[in-house]
Structure 1
């Protein structure tokens, strides 16, 4: 099963972490079809994070939102999304033109329900439709609830403002990231198969080293190493930092690398290893979503955060 599920980079990351056997066990959760409980879960969601590469190969993570029912399983291997990246989103152009034949875009997705700390990951191939996206699923699996901060959603009228583009983080964006307790990361393997994942911790777990460099700890997880495995073979990555209070999104693209030196992680509580991210592009979209969220209840699994030296 592990040979079918994991690619070269994921198996390499599992070996480097000494968790190859545990990764083999975790692979049993991966399937090619949506079970009934997954179809019910998706129908209740209001948010989907989607990761993909743009036309130049840069990775981005985007947020799609809608009222319950905007995600619908057409059958066991097909997801219908009644939404698409908003105007100005870095992936809007890539997913704007209806696909012809097999010309689909590789996407990774995570449907997450902060109120219940449930999440589901899916990977597949997307084509644009008149109402949103038609996605042929290749992999479906649930993840554990660790590091998800509990939040309750509500809707407010919103006006999407033009995107603000830059090559590095502004002071306001740096502050948002330094105070973040959640972000999402999009990566892809050597063949371009995309993945989207969640990262959470106490505020301050993402270190803003400079306007062009971020660093965060990799906490203990399910030993699948989907994200770190992709980075072993393809450093391109995209980050999404949502402002839960205003609906603004900050999307960052660049390159990430894993620091496997245990001495470098030893000073960071809970860190198994460290990830360093070099920023090459930033897109901020004020009011990107009409979703607003309550103040968080932190996950009991969040490690302590110590001030940066």
Structure 2
């Protein structure tokens, strides 16, 4: 990828961080199809993290758990098919309505046990129980800040799903507790023409600070310097976050807007030296359950985590 293929927001963010040269080098790994060396990895995955857009332009992040083989890349690596019959579907997830209304989807394929991950963004259409994505962009991502876990779910397509749902605009004690304990969440953003994007965020438990007024304050660590999420936010502050609570089999989906803060004082080193924070103002939240049969076990924390919190 050359600098010309980054959109305006990404270029601005790269300049503000003084990382334009690094971004240009790392951008060479981005392609319009799935890199062929990653095709076996794609077929082995059993989790998929998705960014989608609703009818009103709100952005949401979702978690899908399926059986290995539910993701099938095309022979030309230019398409990716998701077999939804092999997926545990949470009925209250906004994703199911969103994918019928807006073709833009951002996928993150992440193996929590090996810390390998791959982004696949594109435009999707439904064919019965199969979601076919025409790939517009794909890139391998570095393994930093991922906490290792094992994920096991037998027969996901027939797995009983909790039907209870809570939702609102102001988060309460239960949601604050879930966020305050989290060491992992997933982040969705969108660009008008470059499409939706989904990425991972990890840190020590407590790295997401809950402020008054439904605001979350989050450190931004050093990454691949391309600033896909921040670049999107500079042009469209809409964001979706999803926090998995693996121990209690809960999922908290948040929609809201982002404000970014550059060159901030960081005496505790909580940003790992970047001096960047971002604040997310919650506008809507949905709390539902992960599959009843899910067995997720923590293995170890990322060795790249900053020491400050």
Per-residue CA deviation, residues 65-106 of structure 1 (Å, 9 max, x unaligned), is 111000111231100001276311112212247xxxxxx611
Residue aligning to 1:95: 99
Does the 8 Å contact 2:167/2:287 carry over to 1?
yes
- Counterpart of 1:189 (choices 188, 191, 215) is 191
Distance 2:164 2:4 in 1: 43
Q: Does 1:79 align with 2:80?
A: yes
User: What TM-score do the two structures reach when normalised by structure 2?
Assistant: 0.91
Residue aligning to 2:103: 105
For the residue of structure 2 that corresponds to 1:275, the secondary structure is: strand
Residue aligning to 2:29: 29
Q: CA deviation at 1:154?
A: 1.5
Residue aligning to 2:173: 171
Residue aligning to 1:100: none
Q: CA deviation at 1:209?
A: 1.1
Distance 1:175 1:144 in 2: 29
Unaligned runs of 5+ in 1: 98-103
Task: Call closer, same or farther: CA 1:161–1:287 in 2, change over 3 Å.
Answer: farther
Write the mapping of 1:10-89 to structure 2, written as runs, cut at 5 A.
Answer: 10-75=10-75, 76-83=77-84, 86-89=90-93
Distance 2:188 2:134 in 1: 18
Residue aligning to 1:285: 288
Q: Does 1:139 align with 2:137?
A: yes
Per-residue CA deviation, residues 155-210 of structure 1 (Å, 9 max, x unaligned), is 26543223211112221111111111100000012446111000001101111113
Q: Which runs of 4+ in 1 moved over 6 A?
A: none
- Counterpart of 2:149 (choices 140, 148, 151) is 151
Task: Call closer, same or farther: CA 1:74–1:189 in 2, change over 3 Å.
Answer: same
Residue aligning to 2:279: 276
Q: CA deviation at 1:271?
A: 4.9
Q: Does 1:300 align with 2:300?
A: no
Q: Does 1:237 align with 2:239?
A: yes
Q: How many residues align?
A: 299
Q: Compare 26-35 and 191-200 and name the one that shifted more.
A: 191-200
- Counterpart of 2:223 (choices 221, 224, 227) is 221
| CA RMSD after TM alignment | 1.8
User: What TM-score do the two structures reach when normalised by structure 1?
Assistant: 0.91
| Greater share of strand | 2
Does the 8 Å contact 1:186/1:239 carry over to 2?
yes
Residue aligning to 1:124: 122
Does the 8 Å contact 1:107/1:193 carry over to 2?
yes
Q: Compare 23-32 and 266-275 and name the one that shifted more.
A: 266-275
Task: Call closer, same or farther: CA 1:203–1:285 in 2, change over 3 Å.
Answer: same
Per-residue CA deviation, residues 196-230 of structure 1 (Å, 9 max, x unaligned), is 00000110111111361101100011101001111
Distance 1:233 1:289 in 2: 39
